[in-house]
Each structure stands twice: as C-alpha cells, then as structure tokens.
Chain A
C-alpha cells in the first residue's frame, strides 16, 4: 500500500513537473468552454443548466484521456526504468493502481477547474445543482473508464505516440458503441443479444442517463467494473511485455 501511494505521488507530481500539464489543463478548459458556449449554445438556449457542457465530455475524453495516459507505461518500457520499478518491493497490482489513480486525480483536477462554468450558470439563472453534481461525478467516473483503457494500452508499446493513437481509436469505439449508426449497422446481421450487449457498452448511452441527474447504480457498477477489468488486463499486459 505504501508503494502504491509513493507511485501515485511521483506520477501526479510528474504531470506538473513539465509545462505539458498546464498546456493540458488550459486546453481542456478551452475546449470545454468552446463546446459549451459556442457549439452547445449555452446562452442561446435560454435555459440555466450545464447540459451542453457535459454533453461534449465523452468526445473531449476520447482525445484527452489517451493523451494523459499514453506516458504511464510506454515511457517506463522505453527508458528501461520499468526494471527498476518492478524490482522494488511493491506488487505489480499496486504499481498499476498507483499510476492509474495519479492519471485519474490529474483529470479530477482539470475537471474541478471548470468550476467557473458552473458559477456562470448560477449567476445567469437558477439551475438544478443536484443534477450538475451528479453530472460531474458521472463525468469523472466515465473519465476513469477511458483512463483505465488507455493505461492498459500504454503498456502494450514502448512508443507514446502509438499508445495515443490506439487509445483514441479504442476510446472512440467504446463511445459510439451504442449510437444508432453503429447499432443499425450491426442489427442487419448480428443476433439481437449481441446488439444489446454492444449497446450496453456504450459510454454515451450510460452518460446521457447520468446527465439527466440520475446516477443509476447499474451505470456506476458498469464504469467501476470496466475500470477493474482494464486494470487487471493492465497487469497482464505489463507482465507479458516487460522482458522486451
């Protein structure tokens, strides 16, 4: 446990050790702002809520989460520090968890810095703040899902750019899995069980339920187990690839 915490602290501090972290956070806030106010038309809608803001989070995360997670394992493998890290007295599971939690905490910080958007809608009108809190929690949970996927993919390569590109593709698949376009395309030939299964994996579908203010236990369990499964896969991938 102490090892997990040390890894967590080092990784989190690592994000802020370079200007990249700040570029990141500013980029995140800018994109969130552009999506919310221009594309989403927060003002024009004449309605005080943050739906346009949250609606774009899945798409934002498809690009941002691979960028945050790409370094986690690929860089250790490229530089050989993985040999150092995995011969310290910490279990592999503890290291995987520490790294993931650091990336998630960094995301939480970026997300928390969007609070001016929240203040703005409260100044403009009288939004349902309960719904907004639920949406923030749901968004963070969903970000964790994307991050767990990308952390695992980062362990499959020594090249951060490869980790990023593959991460974007896989995140995109999980995002659109339940969209009408995909489902219609599949429904033509696949059995309905498969179509339902595919739909149930969709981040978009899960998150839009949360955005309406209800955190269904099933959706929370979905994201939590998705994270657990991908972190487990992460340990397997690290173990299989660490030698070379």
Chain B
C-alpha cells in the first residue's frame, strides 16, 4: 500500500487553478522531492495532503485514510513542517513541543520521552528554555522540525525545510532527513537542485500546477523521462522542463 496516494488533485482559489490534476503516490522508504519555481503549486499540494486545505476535486489519502473523510486518522500519521516553520514566538521550545505532544494525545510520560527524543535528533538542547522569538533562524527551523517528527510519524511533509539556512545547517537538516528515510514516506519541497541530489530518491518537477516530469537517480546522475542530467548538472534540465528553454548543453 502506498503511504501517500494522490489522484487527480485540483485546487482552485476562486478562478485561479493552483494545482491542476496532480497524481502520484509515495511508498515507505521514499524521499520524494518537489522541485519547481516559485508559485508552481508545491505548497498548495502539501497543504491538501496535510488536510489544511480541502481539494477542489480529486482525492488524497494517507496510510489508507482519505484526508477529507477521515481527517483525524490521517493527521495522526502525518508530521508537517509548514513553509517558514511557524511557531508560537512567546513559548519556549520545551513548552511548545510539550503542547504539540499534548494535542497529539500523549500521556505525560510519553510526552517527556517524545520531546527528549526529538530534541536530541535536531540538537535543540541548548535553547530548550529560551523563548522561541529570541532564537536564531536555524534554531527556529529546528523547533519546527522537532514538532514535525515528535510523534515519529509514518508520513513527513516538509515544505522548504532548508530555506534560509546556512550551508552547515542545510547539511544537518539533510542528514536528519536521510537518517529517517528508511521507515517513512517523506516529501520535501525545494527549489535547490543540489538538495534533490543530496537527499531524494525520487523527484517531481512541478510547474503551473502540473507534474511536468518525474525523475530518479540513474547512470550516476538523474533521469527525467528521456533526459539525463550528470551529477551537479541538473539546472539546465530543470530550466528546459519548466520554461521550455533549450540551452541543454550537458543533458542529452
């Protein structure tokens, strides 16, 4: 059974179609990358998977539960990092994570254990009792990540998890994602091509609400349909697929 199954997903805002007939599924052990220019519909797709927005048409199911018909069952199995990692600024990471664990129905003992585990994974120990608003961007992002992995979810949806972080922090987050990949289905969105090569096992290039191409590692690089990009040379291929430009020096 696919952990995430999306069929013919359409999401309109008024007359504007942000997601236009997207279908795909994600198995356990997969890290799927959403690649695409700004405004492509990556975040909107993620918001419907997590049940924040209702699809205009089509269906989304998570671990076999339809997100519209059984929202709570689906939401229990999802960990979600929204774009920009919003958190409550006047809370401390300790208080915030305890609140999330509490909403997720954990007992006091479970909460203590879950928070300790997540804090260790994202290395948050040093700032645990400092108001979140006083933390650096890197730490704020880690608080958001800790919140998402707190209940050891089967499905992880991470919207631009490394956006705005410095290279070391990016590396840490990617290592964290890779370390959790084996027993989860993970979807990350990014517009950084090297990130796809670093952590993803599959990628969808999304543009104007549609899946434009699907790719996976092959021949030492990445193959999208009949196009292959050598390691570190995905950008020309990305431009070609998303804009139709043909400056395709190294992709053959």
- Bound together: yes
Q: Does B104 contact A (CB under 8 A)?
A: yes
Bitwise interface map of A from 38 to 78 toward B, beta carbon under 8 Å scored 1, else 0: 00000000000000000000000000000000000000000
Bitwise interface map of B from 7 to 44 toward A, beta carbon under 8 Å scored 1, else 0: 00000010000000000000000000000000000000
Given A83-B82, A87-B50, A87-B80, answer yes or no on A3-B90 (Cβ-Cβ < 8 Å). no
Contact partners of B83 in chain A: CB under 8 A: 80
Pick the contact of A7 from B72, B75, B103 — CB < 8 Å? B103
In whole angstroms, how far apart are the Cα atoms of A244 and B99 in the complex? 25
Pick the contact of B51 from A18, A87, A243 — CB < 8 Å? A87
Pick the contact of B90 from A14, A84, A89 — CB < 8 Å? A14
Q: Are A3 and B103 in contact (CB under 8 A)?
A: yes
Pick the contact of B105 from A3, A83, A86, A91 — CB < 8 Å? A3
Q: Are B72 and A89 in contact (CB under 8 A)?
A: yes
Pick the contact of A87 from B52, B84, B90, B105 — CB < 8 Å? B52
Given A87-B50, A87-B52, A243-B53, answer yes or no on A81-B86 (Cβ-Cβ < 8 Å). yes
A-facing residues in B36-75 (Cβ within 8 Å): 47, 50-53, 71-72, 75
Pick the contact of A83 from B52, B72, B90 — CB < 8 Å? B52
Bitwise interface map of A from 92 to 122 toward B, beta carbon under 8 Å scored 1, else 0: 0000000000000000000000000000000
Given A14-B90, A83-B52, A242-B52, answer yes or no on A88-B103 (Cβ-Cβ < 8 Å). yes
Q: Does B89 contact A (CB under 8 A)?
A: yes
Q: Which chain A residue has the least Cβ–Cβ distance from B131? A: A17
Pick the contact of A2 from B52, B80, B88, B105 — CB < 8 Å? B105
In whole angstroms, how far apart are the Cα atoms of A89 and B13 in the complex? 25
Q: Are A79 and B90 in contact (CB under 8 A)?
A: no
Q: Are B102 and A9 in contact (CB under 8 A)?
A: yes
Contact partners of B102 in chain A: CB under 8 A: 2, 6, 9
Given A81-B88, A84-B87, A242-B52, answer yes or no on A90-B82 (Cβ-Cβ < 8 Å). no
Q: Which chain A residue has the least Cβ–Cβ distance from B88? A: A81
Q: Does B108 contact A (CB under 8 A)?
A: no
A23–chain B nearest beta-carbon distance, Å: 15
A72–chain B nearest beta-carbon distance, Å: 13
Q: Which chain A residue has the least Cβ–Cβ distance from B18? A: A243
In whole angstroms, how far apart are the Cα atoms of A86 and B50 in the complex? 9
Q: Does B175 contact A (CB under 8 A)?
A: no
A201–chain B nearest beta-carbon distance, Å: 34
Q: Does B241 contact A (CB under 8 A)?
A: no
Pick the contact of B82 from A3, A9, A84 — CB < 8 Å? A84
Q: Are B52 and A89 in contact (CB under 8 A)?
A: no
Q: Are A88 and B82 in contact (CB under 8 A)?
A: no
Q: Are A80 and B82 in contact (CB under 8 A)?
A: yes
Q: Which 6 A-B pairs have the closest CB atoms?
A: A80-B86, A6-B102, A89-B75, A83-B82, A87-B50, A6-B103
30 contacts across the A-B interface (CB closer than 8 A): A2-B103, A2-B105, A3-B103, A3-B105, A6-B99, A6-B103, A7-B103, A9-B99, A9-B102, A79-B88, A79-B89, A80-B84, A80-B86, A81-B87, A81-B88, A83-B82, A84-B80, A84-B147, A86-B51, A87-B50, A87-B52, A87-B75, A87-B78, A87-B80, A87-B82, A89-B72, A89-B75, A90-B72, A242-B52, A242-B53
